[in-house]
Amino acid sequence: MNKIRLALSMMLFLLVVSGISAYKNSDEARNALKSADDAEVIKACAYLGEEEEKKAVDDLLNVIKNHKNPKVRIAAISALSLTEEKGKPTTELKNLIVSEKDNTIVYAAIIGVFNLQDFENKATKEALDYCDQNKKDDPYITDIVARIKKALKK
């Protein structure tokens, strides 16, 4: 699990470093989320995450729900989790966790839910409980859910 977390962190770091100067402002980056170029969308996600851009929540959710490339979706989940926006992002990530077949996306979404720290939202508990009941076959998801539940008890 540490290797996956390290790889995701390194990917986001590299994208942030390479993408920060690519946009003049957040509106430009939000427009880039509609690009057909996956690398451009990932750079836009990294920029918006670094800027903690709350205005981009709906745009990022659109990428998460509709983009075909899992790497792009993970970048959008990461950016969304950095907005620290409560409510809708947590609920939408929970909905994604319940409907998604790709466990890499589910893993990223669980981390996103935790990073949003919207612990009063019932969707947080629902997401964790869903994974406990339905994702037992994935050791990475099982591990991260157990760690999050342990952290929440403290």
Question: Using CB atoms within 10 A of its CB, is residue 17 exposed (0-12), middle (13-18) or buried (19+)?
Answer: exposed
Q: Which two tokens stand for residue 27?
A: 């509106």
Q: Which residues contact 135 (CB under 8 A, 6 or more apart)?
A: 103, 106, 141, 142, 145
pLDDT of residue 29: 87
Q: Which two tokens stand for residue 77?
A: 């989940």
Sign, CA torsion 108/112/148/98: negative
Delineate the domains of the chain, giving CATH numbers in brackets.
Answer: 1-85 (1.25.10), 86-154 (no CATH)
Question: Using CB atoms within 10 A of its CB, is residue 133 exposed (0-12), middle (13-18) or buried (19+)?
Answer: exposed
pLDDT of residue 20: 47
Condensed to tens digits (0 to 9), the pLDDT of residues 122-133 reads 999 999 999 999
Condensed to tens digits (0 to 9), the pLDDT of residues 15-25 reads 555 544 567 78
Low-confidence spans in the chain with pLDDT less than 70: 1-22, 154
pLDDT of residue 113: 94
